[in-house]
Amino acid sequence: MTDIVCWACATGWQMPAQRADKMPTQPNSADILGSCWECHVFACSGHAERDAASGKWLCYPSVAIALSVSAGVDDDQYSTTRFAKTQDLEQRLPNLAAATLHERRRMRDQTADRLHGAVTSDGIDLFDKDLFADAVGVGKAIKPTAPLIARDLLFNVATVTPHPLALPGRLGKILETLPDAD
């Protein structure tokens, strides 16, 4: 019999801070509680949560994308799950909301201008800034390892190579360009 493992554990996605004590040392086969309703991967209880509003098991990468779509930054095709406001996230996915509170607040308070510039430069003028800060905060808290940055020593130009597991759409692109320690 083959073990079923969590896709996010197997591919190196971080667990949000408050679940770090449960970080497995190898792909987790003991803790799979369902497959993600959005993207269908198997996901453990450290990388997914049941949406209290819909009863659907949602992996955290899919929640980050859903927040970006809900904010009006990413296109509808990326997610069918929607959040009307931050309080929705807190009520429906309380573990993820609590564990990412710090990152989400930092995105709201400190880098609002930079995020706003990154989105508007992509041709999006109207979007929900709070929900997009939530999307970026969650994305930063969970994304696997830093992007590869090669710096050309002669011209001092940085080339960012997107992580092969980057989130899709504009959120993924913006996350790849944000420094990890910020």
Q: Which residues bind Zn ion (CB under 5 A)?
A: 6, 8-9, 36, 38-39, 44, 46-47, 59, 62
| 56 vs 116, beta carbon nearer Zn ion | 56
Least distance in angstroms from the C-beta of 5 to Zn ion: 8
Least distance in angstroms from the C-beta of 72 to Zn ion: 21
Strands (E), 31-122: 32-35, 42-44, 48-50, 57-59
Least distance in angstroms from the C-beta of 27 to Zn ion: 8
| 10 vs 98, beta carbon nearer Zn ion | 10
**Per-residue tokens: 138:** 């969650």
| 115 vs 134, beta carbon nearer Zn ion | 134
Q: Is residue 169 left, alpha or beta, with left meaning phi > 0 and alpha meaning psi from -120 to 50?
A: left
| 38 vs 128, beta carbon nearer Zn ion | 38
What is the spatial distance between Cα 7 and Cα 156, in angstroms, rounded to a whole number?
Answer: 37
What is the spatial distance between Cα 31 and Cα 81, in angstroms, rounded to a whole number?
Answer: 24
